[in-house]
Amino acid sequence: MTLSGSKFKHLPHSNNSPLVGQRVLRCLFWVAFYFTTSAQVFSAVLVKQKMWPKNSTLNVVFIDGNIEQKQKVRQIAPLWLNNSSLKFQFFDNFATAPKQTHIRVSFSSYTGSTLGNHGDLSSQTPTLLLAELNQTDLPEIYANRLILHEFGHALGLEHEYRNPDWPFGQAPINQQIEHCLPRLESLGYATMEAKHKCQEINAPLNENNIYKTIYDEFSIMNYPQTFTLADQSQKHILAVSKLSILDKLAIERWYGK
């Protein structure tokens, strides 16, 4: 695999997405959200070492893709940056882009993104893949979800179920690991290596390494999932297609002006 699976924080959603475009998303009113008082927390879950410097202009270059796909990304990805000090500057190809590029988008291979500030600004290898946008029947809100989710990773945000405040225990995480194994094996990982990697990339994050909010079920960085709670009831985490209130507040707070 040309692309190192270990660099890509998000592997394809499609196998475990009980909800995308067809269902009506519930509208919930938030009355009790807050940031933790620690200065070291974001979740949305942001990995401190992967943050871009404040006031950065991030050069986003398209390696491939058609006009419609590029336009969709140009329209949706910047929704993250309202009220932040960051900007995206888009380039149609390497010929028109500066030598240093921060996010390199391809619509090939699969869907995933490197996490945040990867330090490789000079190469021409992709850092953000959106292969699922090639599906002709992809509902618009699911395309929006994919773009926002992957650009969230590109900003340094981790999966919400890795928030140390995740309230549903290990069993749903084990489900994630089970889904992860065949995906990594399909990317060329040996079985034991895939097992180790899947445990690592699904484990709770260390409080010292992240900025976070309280657990945010409605974060764009959460995964849709269905599992059984201790009282035997079914819990459904839905696939949202918009940034949550906490997603927006987190970016404003930790990447703010």
Residue ranges in contact with Zn ion by CB under 5 A:
10
Cβ closest to Zn ion, residue 97 vs residue 143: 143
Could you tell me the CA-to-CA distances from 37 to 87, 211, 221 in Å, in that order?
27, 11, 22
Task: Output the furthest CA–CA distance in the chain (Å, rounded).
Answer: 58
DSSP code for 225: E
Angle between helices 67-76 and 140-154 (to 10 degrees): 60
Cβ closest to Zn ion, residue 48 vs residue 183: 183
Q: In the bound complex, what is the minimum distance in angstroms from residue 9's beta carbon to Zn ion?
A: 5
Task: Give dist(CA 28, CA 194) in Å, integer.
Answer: 37
Q: In the bound complex, what is the minimum distance in angstroms from residue 232's beta carbon to Zn ion?
A: 29
Q: In the bound complex, what is the minimum distance in angstroms from residue 66's beta carbon to Zn ion?
A: 24
Tokens (6 digits) for 39: 């200065």
Cβ closest to Zn ion, residue 10 vs residue 197: 10
8 Å CB contact between 66 and 108: no
Task: Give dist(CA 96, CA 158) in Å, integer.
Answer: 31
Cβ closest to Zn ion, residue 84 vs residue 222: 222
8 Å CB contact between 35 and 44: no
The residue nearest Zn ion at its CB is 10
Could you tell me the CA-to-CA distances from 123 to 1, 61, 98, 112, 127 in Å, in that order?
17, 12, 12, 18, 10
Q: In the bound complex, what is the minimum distance in angstroms from residue 59's beta carbon to Zn ion?
A: 22
Q: In the bound complex, what is the minimum distance in angstroms from residue 10's beta carbon to Zn ion?
A: 2
Q: In the bound complex, what is the minimum distance in angstroms from residue 158's beta carbon to Zn ion?
A: 8
Cβ closest to Zn ion, residue 10 vs residue 104: 10
Cβ closest to Zn ion, residue 13 vs residue 97: 13
Task: Give dist(CA 126, CA 161) in Å, integer.
Answer: 26
